[in-house]
Amino acid sequence: MRDESGSLWEWLVPFAFAICAGWTIWHAPAFILDFIPSDNPSLLDQMGELHARKDVTPGLPGLFGGYADPLDWVALILIPIIFVIGAWTVRCAHMEYQHWRPIDRVSLFVGRVTMILIISMTAVMLYEVFLRYVVEAPTLWANELTLWIAGFVFLFSGLYAMQQRCHIRIFLLYDVVPRWMQHTFDVISVLLLWVFAFFLIFGSFSQVFVVKFYKWEMFGTAFDPPIPATVQPMILIIIALIAVQAAINLFADWNLEPTVHTAADDIDEDELEAIKRAVGEN
């Protein structure tokens, strides 16, 4: 992985992924009607009415005789293609964790998508502030859209933080024990995380995917985004990915030299240099 980062390509790929994923999620009722037929007529009527109300391109006919139109299919097909391209071409910045492995490209690209989502969320908030206090014509969708994006940002950030080893850790006891004991602590922590992930997914799978996702539960506001139908399944998916990433970190860091943690670890050298340049110190 190349060390230079910040090219235009690195902005465009996660942005394109976010656009395609957002389009597909918004039109998910069409795919649910096409792929998951139900014997419950009331549910079919409810999903059909929801699709008709949320369809951004109602004039386009469904492809293959279904509900999803050509744009829906293009967005769905592009999601894995763009994800593979983004993960393959992602670049590691100099301030990121340098002992990366090829499999870490997935988490790194998720981190790039998270950054785009943060920018998008900020843009929505600024747009709402402008309309509310300058034009005096607030929207009905900005607040819910911000909450929706923020939920994904919170979840994706957890996976990225695990890959970067920047999650909260307490080293008071860890640093004073021998290396073999540190390995024991690492194994125990990963096992505990896997146990937690297993029981969370096992206990919530039916409620989340059968009730929330399959019935495409909405938020119940004027904008009515599918926050319960998307965020709750994503919680289980991200928890599983975090558990996998924790195991990857365990094997990747097994033979590395132990890190000695001091108070100096909290000092950001890049930030100090930026402050020095700002005050004119050589």
Distance of alpha carbon 145 from alpha carbon 192, whole angstroms: 35
pLDDT for res 188: 95
Helix (H) or strand (E) holding 111: helix 105-130
CA 274 – CA 177 distance, rounded (Å): 37
pLDDT band, very low/low/confident/very high, at 92 (cuts 50, 70, 90): confident
Q: Do 33 and 51 contact (CB within 8 A), yes or no?
A: yes
- Dmax over Cα atoms in the chain, in whole Å? 74
Q: With contact defined as beta carbons under 8 Å apart, do 18 and 116 qualify?
A: yes
Most confident region among 13-27, 60-74, 85-99, 100-114 by mean pLDDT:
13-27
- pLDDT tens digit sequence for 128-156: 999 999 999 999 999 999 999 999 999 99
Question: Residue 184: is its pLDDT beyond 60?
Answer: yes
Burial status of residue 172 (CB atoms within 10 A of its CB: 0-12, 13-18, 19 or more): exposed
Among 25, 11, 148, 149, CA closest to 76: 25
Determine which helix (DSSP H) or strand (DSSP E) holds 87, and give its type and residue range. helix 70-89
What the block records as the tokens of 278 is: 């700002």
Domain extent listing, the chain: 1-94
Reply yes or no on whether the pLDDT at 203 is more than 90: yes
Which pLDDT does position 264 carry in this prediction?
Answer: 57
Q: With 90 as the cut, is the pLDDT of residue 266 above it?
A: no
Average pLDDT over residues 171-187: 88
The DSSP call for residue 261 is P
Tokens representing 96 are 């990121």
Chain centroid to Cα 214, Å, comes to 21
Higher model confidence: residue 231 or residue 279? 231
User: Residues of the chain with pLDDT > 70: what percent?
Assistant: 92
